[in-house]
Amino acid sequence: MADMTVAYSPSHGLGEEQSIWFKLTPLLNQENPMQVLMALSDKYGGVVPINLKNHRIMLLSEPAHAERVLVTNADNYTKYFDGLRPIFGKSMITVDGALWQKIRAPQQPAFHPHMFEDYFPYLMSAIDSKMGRWAKFASTGETIEMVEETWTLAAEMVCKALFDREMPFNPHFVFGQVKTYTDVMNHKSLRLKSVRGELVEMTAEDAAKAMEVWGSIPETVTGAGILEHREKTLLKMLEAAEADPNFPEFDRQQVIDEMKQYLWAGTETTALTLAWSLYLLSQHPEALERIRSEARAVCGERDPVWNEVQQLSYTKMVIQETMRLFPPIWALIRIAAGDDDIEGHKIKAGDKVVILAYVMHHSPKYWDQPEKFDPERFAPERAKKRVKYSYLPFAAGKRSCIGGALSQIENTLALVQLLRRFTPEYVGPVPAKIHATVTLCPKGGLPFRIRALS
Ligand code: HEM
């Protein structure tokens, strides 16, 4: 129970020693961490209080709990970001109340569905770069790490579509720095760490250097060559807010921190979803073939055009099912500002409340054969019967993900385009194991070989 080492994983870490992630490490470090949480939730009827010296963590796993915390009494619950502040700065994902609303307002238009058509060519262009790389991997037959591959793709999509810039940094290095930070913070008392099999000593200095690199990335992006001088981009919206004399809170640092937020929250999650979906498809070749035949039926041999994306409905269902089985954000954490009563359970001010999305997504109470990969459960007729708030990949209520719809377009296009030209063959252990930190990562990564279709 008390083995505190954490395997290599391209993920956020668990935060500082006093953070909830650190406290939950003994639970999460099990061979199968999610099974432990599911068994606990089952045993205690969906509410598991964990009493610590000076505070209490409540693990909740019923849709009604999520509804109370995220929707009907959301104002009583504030965001929790201990240990992750240097990664997200003061960006909107970390703040609450009126300030959050004020900061979100000028960015919201960048995520209106009518903007997606503008983004479409840039998403396709990022996928083209990935296909070029995969053609090389197919010829060498080398083994690649899929999460690193999908990181690059998701980061390039964000830079091109939302910031109107080429991606001017190497995501493997930069996201590796984010990971170095979280690992050091995570292991203040345990500095000897195995990174890809080698024991290295990581220090607070490493963490500080890592955050220096990370902090410099937004300026590297803004300083990179402008792609097309588009008028309506997210970056332009951020800069307009900075220039607004009526909005003194939105200073240069706010622009930088918002960009950091998008480069991490918008890429890690999208990348994990795509990587897990390729893993699932490698185990379900019939679903992979269905994606190929859907693509042929919708757009023949040519690339999709914008108004065909909505017709790629089976591909989208595969992504939705992937996020059910492997929700990138498997737990949503809040702090209770005041006392509350959730379905008869007393919550005290200061309690940390953890909504276990993973547990809900795997509960036989809400899903027929929950461990089965069955994209058809997201077909409109079946989806209608779903219990509200039992599926929370993007959270719910006003603090739900701003980029959820965009990420599904990104990943639908990526699956269709990549799978029409390549068969990614998973070469790791089956089933792949989970490493749960802030995000739900594959333990030890997801190794693949790429085969080109003739
Ligand atoms: C599969 C992909 C994604 C998943 C699973 C995901 C999941 C989530 C979740 C669960 C939250 C709420 C966290 C909480 O309440 O504690 C969130 C918030 C957020 N996400 Fe995503 N996300 C994804 C993609 C994206 C993309 C593509 C972007 C932008 C490019 C993005 C930007 C954000 C931002 C800015 C917030 C904070 C919103 C706010 O507080 O107002 N996400 N995401």
CA distances from 107 to 69, 110, 118, 400 (A): 25, 6, 16, 14
- Is the overall model pTM greater than 0.85, yes or no? yes
Atom nearest to 95 CA in ligand 1: 40
User: What's the mean pLDDT in 128-149?
Assistant: 97
Alpha carbon nearest to ligand 1 atom 40, residue: 93
* Whether residue 265 has its Cβ less than 6 Å from ligand 1: yes
Atom nearest to 329 CA in ligand 1: 10
CA distances from 236 to 91, 99, 116 (A): 16, 20, 16
Q: Is the dihedral of CA 162, 163, 166, 167 positive or negative?
A: negative
pLDDT digits (tens, 9 = 90+) for 283-305: 999 999 999 999 999 999 999 99
User: What's the mean pLDDT in 37-49?
Assistant: 91
Distance (Å, whole) CA 69 – CA 332: 10
Please, what is the average pLDDT of the chain?
Answer: 90
- CA proximity to 12, closest of 254, 201, 214: 214
Sorting pLDDT into bands at 50, 70 and 90, what band is 10? Answer: very low
* Whether residue 238 has its Cβ less than 6 Å from ligand 1: no
* Whether residue 89 has its Cβ less than 6 Å from ligand 1: no
Sorted by sequence, the CB contacts under 8 Å of residue 146 that are 6+ apart come out as: 275, 278, 279, 424, 426, 445, 446, 447, 448
Find the range with the poorest average confidence among 1-10, 20-29, 138-147, 163-172.
1-10
Sorting pLDDT into bands at 50, 70 and 90, what band is 436? Answer: confident
pLDDT of residue 13: 37
Q: How far is the CA of 258 from the centre of ligand 1 (A)?
A: 12
User: What's the mean pLDDT in 101-120?
Assistant: 97
pLDDT of residue 2: 30
